[in-house]
């Protein structure tokens, strides 16, 4: 359940940003959680509610956006969509694609007051 630590990481980013960008409360947090980020969106939501209690983000809404997993196929010489790290190229069936997208674990944007 490292999602708890990740959510604590979100709070520390929010606290630093609150000082820098001069806001008191966070109403909504938009996260980008890639399929290969190692974090589970449902667990993130569960932990977020627990971790934000008593902080500037108490009762904030958490919106999770899931970018698609992407790999580069050296045979087709193009980027293709993949569901798992080890999926073969959907066009030519080649294996050993280089993962180029889907590892994101980022705070994109905040709605603040």
Partner 1 sequence: MCATCGCGHGEVRIEGVTHDTDHFKGFRPAAHAPDVSPARMVQIEQDILSKNNDLAGANRKFFAMRGIFALNMVSSPGSGKTSLLVRTIDDLKGKLPVAVIEGDQETSNDAERIRATGAAAVQINTGRGCHLDAHMVMGALEQLKPAPASVLFIENVGNLVCPAAFDLGEAARVALFSVTEGEDKPLKYPDIFASADLVLINKIDLLPHLSYDMAKAEANVRRVNPRARIMKLSATSGEGLAEWYQWLADPSARAAA
Phi, psi of 4 (to 5 degrees): -60, -45
Asked if residue 101 binds partner 1 (CB under 8 A), the reply is: no
- Contacting partner 1 (CB under 8 A), which of 46, 49, 55, 65? 65
CB of 78 to partner 1, least distance (A): 18
Told to check if 6 binds partner 1 by CB under 8 A, we report: yes
| Binding flag, residue 113, partner 1 (CB under 8 A) | yes
Helix (H) or strand (E) holding 8: helix 3-21
Give me the least distance between CB of 104 and partner 1, in Å please.
Answer: 8
Find where tokens 């958490």 sit: 62
CB 34 within 8 Å of CB 103: yes
Burial (Cβ within 10 Å: 0-12, 13-18, ≥19) of residue 76: middle
Q: Binding residues for partner 1, per CB under 8 A?
A: 1-2, 4-6, 9-10, 12-13, 17, 21, 23, 27-28, 30-32, 36-39, 41, 63-68, 84-86, 95-96, 99, 105-113
């Amino acid at each position: 359940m490292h999602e708890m630590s990740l959510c604590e990481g979100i709070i520390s980013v929010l606290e630093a940003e609150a000082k820098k960008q001069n806001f008191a409360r966070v109403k909504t947090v938009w996260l980008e959680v890639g399929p290969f980020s190692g974090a589970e969106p449902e667990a993130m939501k569960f932990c977020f509610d627990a971790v934000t209690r008593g902080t500037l983000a108490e009762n904030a809404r958490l919106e999770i956006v899931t970018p698609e997993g992407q790999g580069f196929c050296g045979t087709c010489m193009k980027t293709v969509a993949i569901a798992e790290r080890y999926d073969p190229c959907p066009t030519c069936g080649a294996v050993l694609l280089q993962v180029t997208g889907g590892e994101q674990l980022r705070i994109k944007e905040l709605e603040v007051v």
